[in-house]
Amino acid sequence: MATLDHETLLGIVRNRPLLAVALLRAAAFVGEDEPADGEAIVLRFPWTRLASAEEPALAARYREIIAAARRTRANLGESMFGEIIAFLNARIEEGLHHTDLIARKGVRDWRAERDLWAKRDRVAFLESILLDDFYLAVEEHSQAEHLLKLEAAAYNWHDDYQDDWRV
């Protein structure tokens, strides 16, 4: 039976993500009664024998492109996304302060408080992606950018809201 160690599997996922998805999809549909040796896999999926002499160069170029995209996004994150995050955190604190003032008058709005706490958690998670590089793919960073702008759009009436934050 053919086996993959952890490092080899990570290499395939990093360098050939589409191949990794195809292999995982194919492995998911292999029945228990079928042989799992290497030759049986090659017979079942003949495209596994296909390889390119340029593969290492393509993988290296892919890593260069991803690294450049990460650098660009990091620079953008420090400038624009830091401002949006600070803006959102200030609005959340204002909302919590407002619910606290209302609670002192005897009316506690648990739903509003929980909504603000959840919003604070979402913003913190998006901050970890956008400013702390806590993401695996550039697509995840793009999604986080969009979600952060959507969170800020709820406050488009505020004087400190900037037009370039619009989705």
Are the C-beta atoms of 80 and 63 separated by less than 8 Å? no
pTM for this entry: 0.57
pLDDT, residue 117, reads: 95
Q: What is the DSSP secondary-structure string of 2-46?
A: ----HHHHHHHHHH-HHHHHHHHHHHHT--TTS--SHHHHHHH-G
Please tell me the number of Cα atoms within 13 Å of 94 on its side-chain side: 8
Residues in the chain, how many? 167
Are the C-beta atoms of 152 and 123 separated by less than 8 Å? no
Q: In sequence order, which residues have a C-beta less than 8 Å from that of residue 140 and are 6 or more positions away?
A: 129
pLDDT, residue 1, reads: 46
Exposed / middle / buried, residue 141 (Cβ in 10 Å: 0-12, 13-18, 19+): buried
Rounded-to-integer distance, Cα 81 and Cα 9, Å: 34
- Segments in the chain below pLDDT 70: 1-6, 9-10, 19-58, 66, 70, 73-78, 133-138
Q: Which two tokens stand for residue 60?
A: 């290296």
Which residue carries 């490092």 as its tokens?
A: 7
